[in-house]
Amino acid sequence: PSFGRTDVYEKDKSLMIETELPGVKKEEISIKVEDDQLTIAGEVKRNEGIDRENYFRIGRRYGRFQRCFPLPSDLIEKDRIKARFEDGILIVAAPMKESIKETEKPIEIAVE
């Protein structure tokens, strides 16, 4: 199935990721940080108690889902990432580092 609608924004010095995961239980969600990316994965399970032959229309999708989000190591404190799941919405907060190292230096270029 496709991944739920997602918003990514900054709030209170944290990178916030909010995604809709309707029909998913908290226990079925996996969040991992590896290298410079955060991966949200899980599975939407079909209700096994209902016979498919009795359906008039099947509009919901079932199965595994996964989405990766880049987390620049020079901006995010990976060991402080927190998540909560309420009302079908997963909210991940990735705190930003207090001081971002300056890696760029001005370079003077002569105009000819």
CATH number (domain holding residue 16): 2.60.40.790
In a domain, 104, yes or no: no
Which pLDDT does position 4 carry in this prediction?
Answer: 77
Residue at token pair 């190591």:
73
In a domain, 87, yes or no: yes
In a domain, 55, yes or no: yes
Q: What's the domain range around 53?
A: 6-95
In a domain, 107, yes or no: no
In a domain, 51, yes or no: yes
In a domain, 111, yes or no: no
Which pLDDT does position 2 carry in this prediction?
Answer: 60
Rounded CA separation 112/103 (Å): 28
In a domain, 75, yes or no: yes
pLDDT in tens, the chain (112 residues): 466 799 999 999 999 999 999 878 899 899 999 988 999 999 877 777 666 777 787 766 777 889 999 988 788 998 899 999 999 999 999 999 886 544 455 666 667 5
Rounded CA separation 84/14 (Å): 14
Which pLDDT does position 101 carry in this prediction?
Answer: 46
For 35, residues 6+ apart whose C-beta sits below 8 A from its C-beta are none
Rounded CA separation 65/4 (Å): 9
Counted domains in the chain: 1
Alpha helices in 1-112 (DSSP H): none
Which pLDDT does position 54 carry in this prediction?
Answer: 73
Which pLDDT does position 14 carry in this prediction?
Answer: 93
> Residue 41 half-sphere exposure, CB side, CA atoms within 13 Å?
9
In a domain, 41, yes or no: yes
